[in-house]
Amino acid sequence: MDSQTVDASPQTGEGRPAATLKRNALGVLGILFFVLSAQAPLTGIAGAVPIAVAVGNGAGAPAAYAIAGAVILLFSVGFVAMGRHVVNAGAFYTYIGKGLGRTTGSGSAAVALFAYCTVQAAMYGLYGFTVSGLVEHYSGAHIAWWVWALVTMGAVQVLGAAGIELGAKVLAVFVLAEFSILLVFALVTLVKGGGPEGLDFGGTFSPSAVLQGAPGVALMFAVASMFGFEATAIYGEEAREPHKTVPRATYLSVAVVTGFFAFVSWMLVSSYGPSKVTAAAGKALAGGDSTVFVFAPIAAQFGGWVNDVLPILLGTSLFAGILAFHNSANRYLFSLSREGLLPGRLRTLNHRHSPWVAGLVQTAIAVLLVMPFALAGKDPVLTLFSWFSGVGVLACMLLYFLTSVSVIVFFRRERLDTRRWNTLIAPALGALGIAAVIWVVLTNFTTLIGGDATTALWLVLAVPAVLLLGAGTARVVHGR
Least confident of 39-43, 47-51, 368-372, 435-439: 39-43
Q: Counting beta carbons within 10 angstroms of the beta carbon of residue 9, is it exposed (0 to 12), middle (13 to 18) or buried (19 or more)?
A: exposed
DSSP-derived 3-state class of residue 195? strand
- Angstrom distance (rounded) from CA 37 to CA 48: 16
Q: What confidence tier does 430 reach under pLDDT thresholds 50, 70, 90?
A: very high
Closest to 438 (Cα-Cα) out of 408, 410, 402 = 402
Between CA 168 and CA 46 the distance in angstroms is 24
Output the pLDDT for position 171: 63
Highest mean pLDDT (candidates 28-42, 245-259, 269-283): 269-283
Query: What pLDDT is recorded for position 242?
Result: 65
Among 20-24, 174-178, 443-447, which is the least confidently predicted range? 20-24
Residue 86 pLDDT greater than 80, yes or no: no
Measured from the Cβ of residue 164, the count of other Cβ atoms closer than 10 Å reads 22
Spatial distance between the Cα atoms of 84 and 77, rounded to a whole number of angstroms: 11
Residue 27: pLDDT band by 50, 70, 90 thresholds? Answer: low
Q: Comparing 397 with 166, which gets the higher pLDDT? A: 397
Question: For residue 208, what is the enclosing H or E element?
Answer: helix 207-211
The DSSP call for residue 186 is: H
Whether residue 109 is predicted with pLDDT greater than 90 in this model: the reply is no
The predicted pLDDT at position 19 comes to 54
pLDDT at 3 over 50: no
DSSP 3: T
Comparing 378 with 89, the larger pLDDT belongs to 378
Decide if 149 contacts 128 (C-beta within 8 A): yes
pLDDT tens per residue across span 206-230: 999 898 888 888 888 888 777 766 6
Lowest average pLDDT, out of 2-16, 34-48, 255-269, 310-324, goes to 2-16
Residue-wise pLDDT tens digits, 111-138: 988 998 998 999 899 899 989 989 998 8
pLDDT category of residue 266 using cuts at 50, 70 and 90: very high
**Nearest alpha carbon to residue 475 among 302, 376, 341:** 341
Give the mean pLDDT of 154-167: 74
Confidence tier at 293 by pLDDT (50, 70, 90): very high
Q: How confident is the model at residue 16 (pLDDT cuts 50, 70, 90)?
A: very low
- Asked if residue 315 lies in contact with residue 137, where contact means CB atoms within 8 angstroms, the answer is no
Res. 22: pLDDT tops 70? no
Given pLDDT bands bounded at 50, 70 and 90, which one contains residue 325?
Answer: confident
Write down the pLDDT at residue 2.
38
Alpha helices in 339-477 (DSSP H): 356-375, 386-414, 420, 426-443, 445-449, 453-477
pLDDT of res. 375: 95
Question: Residue 30's pLDDT is what?
Answer: 67
Return the amino acid letter for 169: K
Is it the case that residue 98 has pLDDT exceeding 70?
A: yes
Q: Is the pLDDT of residue 38 over 70?
A: no
Instruction: Encode pLDDT of 68-84 as tens digits.
Output: 989 988 998 988 888 77
Mean pLDDT across 84-88: 67
SS (H, E, C) 80-136: HHHHCCCCCCCCHHHHHHHHHCHHHHHHHHHHHHHHHHHHHHHHHHHHHHHHHHHHH
Cβ neighbours for 370, distance < 8 A, ≥ 6 positions apart: 121, 124, 125, 146, 149, 384
User: Mind listing the pLDDT tens digit for each residue in 327-359?
Assistant: 888 888 887 887 777 787 877 776 666 777 888
Whether 203 has a pLDDT exceeding 70, the answer reads yes
Q: List, in sequence order, every residue forming a beta bridge with 239; answer none if it has no partner.
A: 26
pLDDT of 268 above 90: yes
Residues 124 and 149: beta-carbon distance below 8 Å: yes
Q: Give the residue-averaged pLDDT of 409-427.
A: 87
Highest averaged pLDDT of the listed ranges 265-269, 314-318, 389-393:
265-269
Higher pLDDT, 238 or 3: 238
pLDDT band at 88 (very low <50, low <70, confident <90, very high): low
Residue 17 phi, psi (nearest 5): -55, 140
Q: What is the pLDDT of residues 391-401, one digit of tens each?
A: 988 998 999 99
Q: How far is CA 407 from CA 129, 228, 234, in A?
A: 41, 19, 17
pLDDT at 87: 61
